[in-house]
Amino acid sequence: MKLTLLSLSIVLLLISCTKKDNIEPDVIIDPTNELVGTTWQRTLNPDLFNYLEFKTGKEVAFSSKWNGELSTALIRPHTLNEKKVVYTSDGFNYTGTISGDTLAVMGTAGFLMIYVKIK
């Protein structure tokens, strides 16, 4: 009887010590917001345009088009708090306020830039 109980205890111990379940690592989800996937255009003159393209909830791509030629995009961090977006480029801070399809951006130097949503 003791041998049976000992054998049963060993079997139960071995069964309970089987390989642990594969536990998936925590997935970090990139924050999203209403700006993700949108593109905004600022017209400086008929041949020069600036673009803000919000790639993710944390990154905005800034590019320009001069005489039909698009520049390489610069990726910069941004934050969105309600209708206020803040991004930094080349050591300057830009703060924008969203109103419908218009994004009014004030630069560090106090210069107002108006972007219109095109996508």
Could you report the per-residue pLDDT of 51-86, keeping only the tens digit for each?
999 999 999 999 999 999 999 999 999 999 988 999
Could you report the per-residue pLDDT of 3-58, keeping only the tens digit for each?
665 566 665 566 665 555 556 666 555 566 889 999 999 999 999 999 999 999 99
Contact status, residue 37 vs residue 25, Cβ threshold 8 Å: no
pTM: 0.71
Strands annotated E in 19-91:
39-45, 48-54, 59-66, 69-70, 74-81, 84-89
User: Cα(22)–Cα(90) distance, rounded to whole angstroms?
Assistant: 45
Is 2.40.128 the CATH number for 39-117?
yes
Domain regions of the chain by residue span: 39-117
